[in-house]
Chains A and B, each alone.
Chain A
Amino acid sequence: MLLRVVPFKPAQVLAISYINFFQGTPVLGQLLIIFFGIPLFTGTEVSAWTAAIVAFSLFSGAYLGEIWRGSIEAIPKTQWEASASIGLSTIEQLRYVIIPQAFRMSVPPTVGFWVHLVKDTSLASIIGFIELTRAAQIMNAATFRPMTVYLTIAFVYFLICFALTRLSARLEKRLRVAN
Chain B
Amino acid sequence: MSLIEIENVYKSYGQLEVLRDVSLNVETGEIIAIIGRSGSGKSTLLRCINGLEPIQSGTIRFDGEQVNALDTNLRQLRQKVGIVFQSFNLFPHMTVERNITVALTVVKKVPLVQANEIARNVITQVGLADKLNAYPDMLSGGQQQRVAIARSLAMSPKLMLFDEITSALDPELIGEVLRVLANLAKDGMTMMLVTHEMGFARNVASRLIFMHEGEIWEEGPARTVLDSPKTPELSSFLGSVLV
Contacts and interface: CB of A to CB of B under 8 A. Distances in A.
Interface of A: 78-79, 81-89, 92, 96-97, 100-101, 104, 175-176, 178-179
Contact of B89 (A81, A88, A175, A176): A81
B50 interface: yes
B152 interface: yes
B92 interface: yes
B107 interface: yes
29 contacts: A78-B85, A79-B89, A79-B91, A81-B52, A81-B85, A81-B89, A82-B90, A82-B91, A84-B52, A84-B74, A85-B81, A85-B82, A86-B78, A86-B79, A86-B82, A86-B103, A86-B155, A87-B103, A87-B107, A87-B155, A88-B106, A92-B106, A92-B107, A96-B102, A101-B91, A101-B92, A101-B93, A178-B92, A179-B137
A134 B137 CA distance: 51
B23 interface: no
A132 to B, nearest CB: 38
A78 B87 contact: yes
A104 B85 contact: no
Main secondary structure of the interface of A (DSSP, over half): helix
A97 B79 CA distance: 17
A87 B79 contact: yes
B135 interface: yes
B135 A83 contact: no
Given A81-B85, A176-B135, A88 B107 contact: yes
A85 B93 contact: no
B186 interface: no
Contacts of B102: 86, 88, 96-97
Interface in B116-139: 135, 137
B91 A104 contact: no
B18 interface: no
Given A78-B87, A92-B107, A85 B92 contact: no
Contacts of B83: 85
B161 to A, nearest CB: 9
A86 B93 contact: no
Contact of B52 (A79, A85, A96, A178): A85
Contacts of B90: 82
Given A78-B87, A84-B78, A86-B151, A104 B93 contact: yes
B151 A178 contact: no
B115 to A, nearest CB: 13
A2 to B, nearest CB: 23
Given A100-B93, A176-B93, A178-B93, A85 B50 contact: yes
Nearest to A96: B102
B125 to A, nearest CB: 17
Contacts of A89: 75
